Structure 1
Amino acid sequence: MADHLAQAVSAEETVVEHNNTYHPPRVPLLDTAAQSHPVAAVDERLATGKLLLFGLQHVLVMAAAPIASVFMMAKALGLSQALTINLLSATFVMCGLGSMLQSIGPRGIGARLPFIMLPGGAPVVLFILIAQQTNLQTAAGAVLLTGLAYFVLLPVFRRCLRFFPSLVVGTMLLLVSVNLVKVSGLLITGNPGTPGFAAPTNIFLAFATILFTVLFSRTLKGIWCQLAILLGLVAGTLAAAACGVFKVGTVALWPLFSAPVLLPFGLPQFDVVAALPLIIFSVISMVEATGQTVAIGEAVGKDIDQQRDVPKTIRGDAVMSLVGALFGTSLIVTSGENIGVVRATGVRSRFVTMVSGVILIVFGLLAPLTKLLSLVPEAVVGGTGVIVFAIVGIMGIDMLRRSDLRNHANMYILAVALCAGLLPILIPGLYVNFPPGVRMFLSNGVAMGAITAAALNFLFFHFGNKEKH
């Protein structure tokens, strides 16, 4: 059975539609020394010390996502402290294993690109809603069903990839950037109407973190310049400690180890109707994975064939979501956030994120380290995120520049897609009076913008009389 599956994957990957292949410009290798057999930047093996430092930089920038997702679940579902710690451990470990899987990419599962995998925000919310409407066992079963749905839907989705040219992907990246900058901004200010909203101390810490990052990037040289994001995060945390916001003394050193537990909620229960919201989201996740794969390919200077490479990314998401469900997590998917880190630092090696995966696993197993990370002020993390996620937007703008926006069709595709994507991002609750299933779909601005752009691209360039455009 396994051999037949491997042959099917191999056969699928040999199909290449050259008209829809995205070929980003070549970038110089990190090692400029003459080599008889040059190694692509994405495959370069850096020194151990550099791998550890660059890998840690990725982890610290992304660590807020798994912590926030678990705390959100624990608060909404009334989970015990012991179960919360266990789920936090499981989430870090699954993110680490997923990052290693995407970086190594064995047998067509994983993109062999510098990806970090994280629990998606929307899937966590859907997991909570399913658990509240049914129970935790059904929610875990819904994640398992969704992991299987990835494999069922992937062949159909793969046929649609030709409707995702650079105009569509650039629009998606720009919307991803706006959405993530907004999320980072809320980390800095808190939600409107809550106690301490827009506290001057938090705003000061965020801007101090940004300033430190810029200063390090401007004044330092070599590897230290490439570590500007990490150093800015550390400097911001020290500033928070000076302000009395970050207190390391509150971290308990016991228990020292925390390991994930198989089936923490008991045996999963399977309800296809209850799982539908997550299954629908799997399609949205595939759309996002397409843009992320193209974008990270461009950032590392690797030629991306959408028909070959995007399915690899999606298979990695599917496998890790299936494995994560067995340990109590929601969907574990590739993250667009680390694209900004890769572009900002210029470090393109996939072995960096492989080491990041190892570090995430260590953090998941060492409980005090996880607790220490959870104490880093959200304003500092938000300040770092604003820079990193804005860089993702710059990449989107760079892709859009390659399309002729004076062209009548391209102009309308971009304008309408931005309307569909920005409205739900900028106006929360825009679709609050719609049915829950429809509201969940329409409220995802990134997916709505990307799908709208792809649909209009089909309408203008693949349907009917195309010459008039």
Structure 2
Amino acid sequence: MKKQEAIENIYRLEGRVPVGKAVPFGLQHILAMFVANIAPIIIIAGASGLDPGQTARLIQSAMIIAGIGTLIQLFPLWKIGSGLPIVMGISFTFVSVFCYIGPVYGYNAIVGAVLVGGIIEGLLGLFARYWIRLITPIVSASVVTAIGFSLLSVGASSFGGGSGSADFGSASNWILGTITLLCCIVFNILAKSYWKQLSVLFGLIVGYLVAVCMGMVDFSSLEGTSIVAFPSLMPFRPEFNANAILSVVLIFLVSATETIGDTCALATSGLNRDATEREISGSLACDGFISALSSVFGCLPITSFSQNVGLVAMTKVVNRFTIATGAVIMILAGIFPVFGALLATLPDAVLGGCTIMMFGTIVVSGLQMISKCGYSQRNITIAALSLSTGIGFTQVPEIFDIFPQLIRNIFAENCVAVVFLVAVLLNLVLPKNMETAGTK
């Protein structure tokens, strides 16, 4: 393989890239999502009363399942998988509802609900051709824009040291996040050829080394960590509670809208085209069935990661083999827990310094998609009203206090769900040509 062709292949969906050149890009993707992948498990396990040993095994399972899910997205099995460079990980969308179900019904009820909800979403994906026409381009564009805006606060929280941390917003976190961000920008400006696309990895490495020098990296989690370990099947016996299942299935529908948005955003920003019906269908099917498989290992739902969509949008690296090296790294991080524990020492401020621009890229991609749809009165109404209610109402979640707990769990702090619902409803009820509606 010619060197120039190998370099150009990283910007193509197909084509082989030498392993030595592919691994850094794969590692960049994993570092960008690693903390966000394990954070939901830590939060939900704590709320559900699981002990540290159980939590550690769930984190191990999460890495393996995320790696398998990513490989299936890249290289579909039958109709399951999109064939796009989508990176999978534990979904944050379910945190609030699981923090309610866990203490009330127990963690086993969470596992049972994930199993049922995952199968339902998977079937919806397989039969997407019967309903996907509800998701018109302007609806997809509005959802993608909402995903970008929803991630901005995530990036800012990480930049400050992680929401709820004792030193949140401290000078040390500001310094660390700023150094990391500047390293990403300077590297992108000065590097040549494909090396430019490794700016996030460079920033992560420099930021991590600076954090070590500042004494901000805690290596205590490495003590007593096993070298090799394999996850166990059915560590938690599923319990099928009707209330838990109903709540989780509804959140799976919300997660599905995010997956549709991620798939559309990735195709638009990374491949300069619209996502096909087959790709959206396969992406949803993978989302659901891999989540069901995740429950077999006692773990939580798996979904596409918007962080990595932002990374693709920024770097334009879409090669499936290259992203697959990252999936293999995730699987190894699960089989070799000490490797995963080392990656978990990455400080939040370092991650925030790298991701804040990536998340902004998703916003820009969404706005570009809206522009591509055209600024007709109908499109402007759908985008403006869905975004203003979705982003505006979730900034003041108390506005949902009159609704039942189930509705609050779904909509109160999830702007993507509100944007999707409003956009779909407006798309159904507004006249197809508002410019001529009401005229003689």
Tell me the TM-score normalized by structure 1.
Answer: 0.86
Aligned equivalent of 1:422: 391
What displacement does 1:461 show?
4.2
Q: CA RMSD in A?
A: 2.6
Identity of aligned residues (%): 27
Q: Residue 234 of structure 1 is aligned with which of 168, 190, 205?
A: 205
What is the CA deviation profile of residues 6-58 of structure 1, one whole-angstrom value per residue up to 9, with x for unaligned ones?
xxxxxxxxxxxxxxxxxxxxxxxx9779x9xx999211221111221111110
CA contact (8 A) 1:179 1:425 kept: no
Q: Report the AA paired with residue 55 of structure 2.
A: T
2:360 equivalent to 1:364 = no
Aligned equivalent of 1:307: 277
Aligned equivalent of 1:401: 371
SS in 2 for 1:105: coil
SS in 1 for 2:255: helix
Runs of 4+ in 1 over 6 A off after TM superposition: 30-33, 191-194
Aligned equivalent of 1:331: 301
Provide the rounded CA distance (Å) in 1 between the counterparts of 2:126 and 2:221: 51
CA contact (8 A) 1:115 1:350 kept: no
Aligned equivalent of 1:277: 247
Aligned equivalent of 1:24: none
2:93 equivalent to 1:122 = yes
What is the CA deviation profile of residues 333-378 of structure 1, one whole-angstrom value per residue up to 9, with x for unaligned ones?
1122211111211211122222211110001111222111221111
Provide the rounded CA distance (Å) in 2 between the counterparts of 1:44 and 1:105: 16
Provide the rounded CA distance (Å) in 2 between the counterparts of 1:408 and 1:465: 6
Q: Residue 315 of structure 2 is aligned with which of 345, 348, 355?
A: 345
Q: Report the AA paired with residue 106 of structure 1.
A: L
Tell me the TM-score normalized by structure 2.
Answer: 0.91
What is the CA deviation profile of residues 105-130 of structure 1, one whole-angstrom value per residue up to 9, with x for unaligned ones?
12110000001111111223323322
Q: Report the AA paired with residue 437 of structure 1.
A: L
What is the CA deviation profile of residues 139-198 of structure 1, one whole-angstrom value per residue up to 9, with x for unaligned ones?
111111101222444477543322333322222122111111101212233678874331
SS in 1 for 2:341: helix
Change (3 A) 1:169 1:363: same
Aligned equivalent of 1:386: 356
What displacement does 1:429 show?
4.2
Q: Which moved more, 1:164-173 or 1:310-319?
A: 164-173
Q: Report the AA paired with residue 62 of structure 1.
A: M
Provide the rounded CA distance (Å) in 1 between the counterparts of 2:154 and 2:334: 24
Q: Report the AA paired with residue 41 of structure 1.
A: R
What is the CA deviation profile of residues 285-340 of structure 1, one whole-angstrom value per residue up to 9, with x for unaligned ones?
22222222122112332754543221111110111111100111111111222111
Provide the rounded CA distance (Å) in 1 between the counterparts of 2:420 and 2:270: 23
What displacement does 1:270 show?
1.4
Provide the rounded CA distance (Å) in 2 between the counterparts of 1:59 and 1:47: 19
What is the CA deviation profile of residues 417-455 of structure 1, one whole-angstrom value per residue up to 9, with x for unaligned ones?
111211244334442442111112222201211221222
CA contact (8 A) 1:100 1:355 kept: no
Aligned equivalent of 1:181: 152
Q: Which moved more, 1:131-140 or 1:147-156?
A: 147-156
Provide the rounded CA distance (Å) in 2 between the counterparts of 1:119 and 1:257: 22
List runs of 5+ in structure 1 lacking aligned partners. Answer: 1-29
Provide the rounded CA distance (Å) in 2 between the counterparts of 1:307 and 1:391: 24
Aligned equivalent of 1:49: 20
2:30 equivalent to 1:59 = yes
Q: Which moved more, 1:97-106 or 1:241-250?
A: 241-250
What displacement does 1:397 show?
1.3
CA contact (8 A) 2:128 2:281 kept: no
What displacement does 1:241 show?
1.6
CA contact (8 A) 2:73 2:84 kept: yes
Q: Residue 440 of structure 1 is aligned with which of 383, 405, 409?
A: 409
What displacement does 1:249 show?
6.8
Q: Report the AA paired with residue 72 of structure 1.
A: I
Q: Residue 185 of structure 2 is aligned with which of 214, 221, 235?
A: 214
Q: Which moved more, 1:280-289 or 1:183-192?
A: 183-192
SS in 1 for 2:437: coil
SS in 2 for 1:107: coil
Q: Report the AA paired with residue 338 of structure 1.
A: N
SS in 1 for 2:110: helix
Provide the rounded CA distance (Å) in 2 between the counterparts of 1:202 and 1:366: 30
CA contact (8 A) 1:145 1:272 kept: no
Aligned equivalent of 2:343: 373
Change (3 A) 1:385 1:294: same
CA contact (8 A) 1:120 1:333 kept: yes
Change (3 A) 1:254 1:288: closer
Provide the rounded CA distance (Å) in 1 between the counterparts of 2:122 and 2:241: 18
SS in 1 for 2:374: coil
